[in-house]
Structure formats: structure tokens, C-alpha cells
Amino acid sequence: MELEVKIFKSIQNFITSSLEEYMAKNKVGFNELVEKLGSSLPHLSKIKKGEANLTIGSFAHLMATLGKDVKPLFKIKK
């Protein structure tokens, strides 16, 4: 169970930092990001807080929309 919590926290930190980095870099507000993702304000808020249970597909969509490569998260080498 400890490993599961550690993995969850790593993924959540990656998502949160990716959202914040994208918003800062592109000077996009939270509401604009909601529109860009085709999401709702409550859902994106839950994602940011780690309260949303994302599917692999929704995680991939989120990262692709943010233009974020997930290789650093999983330490994948080319």
C-alpha cells in the first residue's frame, strides 16, 4: 500500500505542476484552461487537487493538451 500511495503522489505532483507550468508559461487562467480541455470547472479543480479518478485516456488527453511529455514521470529512455 505504501508503494501505491507513493506512485499516486508522484503522478499527482506531476499533474499539478504540469497544469501550473502550462498556465504560467501560456498566461492562461484556470477558466481558459477548462475551455481548452473541454472540461468543467469542478472536474478540473478535482484533477488539480488529486480528487479525480482519471482514466489512462483522460490522463493522456490532459498531458497532450498541455504539450507535456510524460517520459520524465516514468523515467522512460528513448
Confidence band of 71 (pLDDT split at 50, 70, 90): confident
Radius of gyration over every alpha carbon of the chain, rounded to an integer in angstroms: 13
Q: Say what the pTM is.
A: 0.86
Q: What is the mean pLDDT of residues 8-19?
A: 92
* Number of continuous H segments (helices) and E segments (strands) in the chain: 5, 0
List CB contacts of 40: < 8 A, sequence separation 6 or more.
34
Q: Is the pLDDT of residue 10 over 80?
A: yes
Q: Is the pLDDT of residue 36 over 70?
A: yes
Q: Can you tell me the distance from the alpha carbon of 23 to that of 4, in angstroms, rounded to the nearest whole number?
A: 29
Phi and psi for 38 in degrees, rounded to 5? 65, 35
Q: What is the pLDDT of residue 73?
A: 82
